[in-house]
Amino acid sequence: MESGAVFAGLHPSTTPGSHNLLLGPSRGAVKLLHPAFTEKRLFSIHPHNLQFQKQFHPVSFRNYGNNNVNCVKVDSRASNAVSELADIDWDNLGFGLMHTDYMYIMKCSKDEGFSKGELQRFGNIELSPSSGVLNYGQGLFEGLKAYRKHDGSILLFRPEENATRLREGAERMCMPAPTVEQFLEAVRVTVLANERWIPPAGKGSLYIRPLLMGSGAVLGLAPAPEYTFLIYVSPVGNYFKEGLAPINLIIETEMHRATPGGTGGVKTIGNYAAVLKAQSAAKAKGFSDVLYLDSVHKRYLEEVSSCNVFVVKGNLISTPAIKGTILPGITRKSILDVARSQGFQVEESHVTVDELLEADEVFCTGTAVVVSPVGSITYRDKRVTYGSDGVGRVSQQLYSALTSLQMGLTEDKMGWIVKLK
């Protein structure tokens, strides 16, 4: 058998360290002792049988060569053996970290491509105190979700967009990055290895967090000599405790999330630490989050701490244009396309505070929140509310359309859904 995988199933156990991942150095089989299996089964999986099934656009992954990932292969026969879900109160699932079974890791030196990716038991990783990510913030992350359908299918939403965005961010941060194919295969393997943690249909999703970091030691300011790509997952519910209910934002006038020429347009880790002070202060006053303005004129909308913002006036939906200080959100991009398909006029431009305060409706978008309607905006002690009966019509319409696509409830005419099994 060529490079592939053999799954050996065990009864679930709660004993720490009782399940192991054994990786052989040869071209032979990889043995994965998976805690979710309820009986012992063996599956021989040929690498040429590994396929990424995408509606309208099927993609087959083959042997990528010496400089590409050599990871554990998983196909639907192996994942079908996972019949029992994790013991979780799925009806009260929040947005927080749960320790799942496996994470995925691969490494490379500065001048080489990534190779030899592998699943490992979820747990702590070892970093040098002088690693590039700890000393100089040389790190990026992504976020995407896996959904379970009622028929047991597992779906991803536009994962190739995350792979592409990671590569673009890596170029800005002087980091090597996995190829799109490596990224997609790593996501697939990680999701299927943690299948028992994917919530039942309609109960939430499996949040997938890819990380790319400068893990090599460096003292002087310079790109790290070694890099680590890591993926872990966690089952999640709603990001905001309000769920699909109006959130209340405050406009920040002094602190700024990003500046022209900076890194606001890539998903680097430093973008998020920078918003914590203003966000914490806002939450202490009862607000859900903070809306930031541009750092030059202080009158144009940028984005919320971790979401893009949209303004609705009549049939026009406006959102701040991508100009280097705003993250090009994948949900943002998808909402624009969905809105156009439903007959809305869509505009990406400079959006002023005055336009925001005079809007009929405001909402935010992001991987974690999907679509989150805004109930009120507070600006310089002036509070403006939107609507009187909860979620706005446009927010509800776009939320329903996008989540129905993501969860496989409606036909994917966009070609955005990747079916894992």
Catalytic residues: 267
Q: Nearest 5°: CA angle at 333, between 332 and 338?
A: 95
Angle between helices 159-172 and 330-341 (to 10 degrees): 130
The DSSP call for residue 230 is E
CA–CA distance, 146 with 199 (Å, rounded to integer) = 9
Whether the CB-CB separation of 383 and 377 falls below 8 Å is answered with yes
Q: E strands, 62-149, where?
A: 102-109, 115-121, 139-141, 144-148
CA–CA distance, 212 with 230 (Å, rounded to integer) = 7
Q: What is the DSSP string of 216-229?
A: SB-SSSS--SEEEE
Provide the 3-class DSSP secondary structure of residue 345: strand
Q: Nearest 5°: CA angle at 245, between 256 and 206?
A: 80
CA–CA distance, 136 with 339 (Å, rounded to integer) = 40
Residue 190 neighbours by CB distance under 10 Å: 28
